[in-house]
């Protein structure tokens, strides 16, 4: 069995909702083929991405994502070994609820640590909204 890793990043978005739909549809299909699970959050200005799966696949996918011109100033927030996957699928969330306003920016800028949303990541992994 190869090692399972998780990787989290945050970035500034360069896409609107229409392009996002294409991106999400493609990513969901591709991740399913790769056996990569996780989460993508978007609030129209920022992305937060969390990927988990076989180490090399996650790394290769992130390398491709980091070069994608649909976002910029991509920051790697976390990268490490996982005992087992927390997400059994890849979820996509829009964060328009007022409670989330500013949170993706805070993650991107380092004002908020990933640990601060850990409980929510767990909850989303069980009952996340799917686009």
Long-range contacts of 113-117 (CB under 8 A, 24+ apart): 114/8, 114/77, 114/78
Token pair of 87, please? 């997400």
- The torsion of the CA quartet 68, 97, 106, 63, rounded to 10 degrees, works out to -20
CB of 64 to ligand FMN, least distance (A): 4
Q: Which residue's CB is nearer to ligand FMN, number 40 or number 95? A: 40
* Residue 72 parent element (H or E): strand 71-82
Q: State the Cα–Cα distance between residues 18 and 108, nearest whole angstrom.
A: 23
CB of 124 to ligand FMN, least distance (A): 15
Instruction: Confirm or reject binding of residue 65 to ligand FMN (CB under 6 A).
Output: yes
Q: Which residue's CB is nearer to ligand FMN, number 23 or number 107? A: 23
CB of 94 to ligand FMN, least distance (A): 13
- What does the binding site for ligand FMN look like in residue numbers (CB under 6 A)? 11, 23, 27, 30-31, 40, 47, 49, 61, 64-65, 68, 70-71
């Amino acid at each position: 069995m190869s090692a399972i890793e998780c990787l989290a990043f945050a970035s500034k978005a360069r896409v609107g909702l229409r392009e996002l739909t294409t991106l999400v549809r493609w990513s969901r299909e591709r991740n399913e083929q790769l056996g990569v699970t996780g989460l993508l959050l978007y609030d129209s200005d920022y992305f937060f991405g969390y990927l988990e799966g076989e180490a090399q696949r996650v790394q290769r996918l992130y390398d491709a994502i980091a070069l994608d011109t649909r976002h910029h100033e991509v920051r790697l927030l976390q990268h490490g070994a996982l005992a087992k996957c927390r997400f059994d699928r890849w979820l996509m969330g829009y964060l328009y609820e007022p409670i989330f306003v500013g949170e993706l920016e805070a993650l991107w800028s380092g004002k908020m640590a990933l640990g601060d949303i850990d409980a929510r990541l767990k909850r989303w992994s069980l009952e996340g909204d799917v686009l």
